[in-house]
Structure 1
């Protein structure tokens, strides 16, 4: 499952509607609304959580994955030691990272590509990626109908 910064994961592209996603992956295992009335879809076998933003016409705007087959720049990221992961990402142009630590977890955030590496015990356990906001302060939707 290839991660493409600023675009999405696998065949999922930021800006898709739920029907575009179900045409590819079928019905999700669970659908619910979060506290902001966004639609959240869980695909258990793919270990993906998809968020469709209510205020944006329920377009796909955020993805969280923990699938062992997630890869970025040709390398699998889940289970990778965080130092090695950051070095590989920096080498591929994702240079600025900020750290947020709590309990046994650490989150490494790259704002330019809206990516979060969630780690525990020094290894990447989750990969989060969101749609980018452009210079006009609008989402830069990559999906074209």
Structure 2
């Protein structure tokens, strides 16, 4: 599974709908909705499709006509430019694998893990024990705007 910044993962592009994802991957193993906190804030929580064999979750944004807008993955075969990410040392991943990115990473420390966020590419790398455990990526925003910049599908 190859990360394509701003577009998605492999053939799964931001902007597709639920039926298009099912056509590519089959029925999800589980469909969940945003956490209870999020549900209190939203009248229409976003569905999240979970695929166990891919160790990935795909979030569809209801406020954007149900389009795929966010991907989370812990898949050990996840790559960027052919280089594996999950299970690798965070410093090496940021320095070598994602070397082409803007070097500005916001780091948030949580109780048991840290999240390294690269806003220009809407990419978050989660790490525990100095190793990458999860990648999260979202559809990009248009420059100087709060509108999504949906890729051509």
- Report TM bin, short chain: over 0.9
Q: How does 1:50-89 map to 2 (within 5 A)?
A: 50-89=58-97
What is the CA–CA distance in structure 1 between the aligned matches of 2:22 and 2:87, rounded to whole Å? 28
Match of 1:117 in 2: 125
Question: Does the 8 Å contact 2:47/2:59 carry over to 1?
Answer: yes
Moved over 6 A (4+): none
What is the CA–CA distance in structure 1 between the aligned matches of 2:28 and 2:152, rounded to whole Å? 20
- Residue by residue, what CA displacement relative to the aligned partner does 1:9-52 show, whole Å, maximum 9, x if unpaired? 12110000011100100000011222241011000000001000
Q: CA RMSD in A?
A: 1.2
SS at match of 1:88: helix
Q: How does 1:12-23 map to 2 (within 5 A)?
A: 12-23=12-23
Number of aligned positions between the proteins: 144
SS at match of 2:19: helix
Question: Does the 8 Å contact 2:118/2:124 carry over to 1?
Answer: yes
The runs of 5 or more residues in structure 1 that have no matched partner are: none
What is the CA–CA distance in structure 2 between the aligned matches of 1:121 and 1:38, rounded to whole Å? 31
Question: Does the 8 Å contact 2:83/2:97 carry over to 1?
Answer: no
The runs of 5 or more residues in structure 2 that have no matched partner are: none
What is the CA–CA distance in structure 2 between the aligned matches of 1:76 and 1:67, rounded to whole Å? 10
Note the C-alpha offset of 1:90.
4.7
Match of 2:50 in 1: 42
Match of 1:132 in 2: 140
